[in-house]
Structure 1
């Protein structure tokens, strides 16, 4: 045991000047062994703290990148640029659709006024709002043109808006009587020009749906019954001659009190 103590002493593992007895040498060796265990435990704790710190630093870096991304999205200049781009895209599509439908002032720049939330045309005389344009035919045409332009923007730019549009009787201003509406034939429309306009209206809707397919769907309930093959191929239900959206049997089974 004394030899072990002396070996330890020469290596500097025991304090200088220690002169333990045999028992003391054994005790000193045991004390040294205990100190080694303390250092080993401390090393493990240090490694654990270091790993935890690295994870925290990684979390902070991720959070900083997230904050930076959100700040960029909320940046006023960026928002204004995106809004300007979106309105410019809409204006181009709306103007093109208005020209296709031969709407009043459709040969001018047509756009969406977000401040007044209306459709306007930049005419030679100045800005003309939809209410001043007049005519039910123009109102229907501009509304259809705007809805189509909006959905074109939503699909092309992958915006989180349902890819679905339903219109009810967009040709109502063109049919002069209830009997004409019931038949829905083009020849029931009095003016040749109106017949052409109704055809253009459905051609435009059909073309936009085809261009955006399969990412956009339209449902149109209308009196019109055009003879064209592309139109008839698109008809899913024909509620005429006793066929109705709500079957009469439902009403018979559930009479009104």
Structure 2
């Protein structure tokens, strides 16, 4: 129904074969896009590089958002190798574990600011870099969660952080529209990824999602990937600034 042939995209946040980011990279590649991929550090590289090579990524680089210059180096390599970028998929979040397991009212400012910097402000940094490489327009996607809208037990400080991320998406969509750059957040339901497994009582959260959602199932990284491929295609050219739930309908039930 749509093709991404000739499109070039950067996917940030692949950790392993179970990552949402990997589902997105694979789906976009299958639809015809060429993908640039990043890994966090040397420890992560041994998991990410074989995946990236399996879809013929021409650019595979480290990108620790807390290391000065690494993000800029990635976009510099894209500018040199491709000269342009058609889409960016931001699938990155972080919170110090001890703070994540505590109450929001108890979180300290340093931990909160670090979570905001890596999980939210990094989208702004990437959008600024991507804008220069999207002279004819493009698409930027990020990953949110239902805890941005409603209180999800044990989600803690990431709830306010993801709420800020969704607000950022709306402002970026508004500001970048003049450049024909579209911006969305995807909000998958809980799924057994490495990042999500750090949440307390995560098995209970998965079970509740299956029981409560109208379709009584869990979304998968492939489901998120399929939607991301659609959103970066011309078929979605008149969509921007939205939060798309991929949660088997969980968000519509009280």
TM-score relative to the length of structure 2: 0.29
Structure (1/2) with the larger strand percentage: 2
Structure (1/2) with the larger helix percentage: 1
TM-score relative to the length of structure 1: 0.29
Which gives a bigger RCO, structure 1 or 2 (Cα 8 Å, sep 6+)? 2
Q: Which has the larger radius of gyration?
A: 1
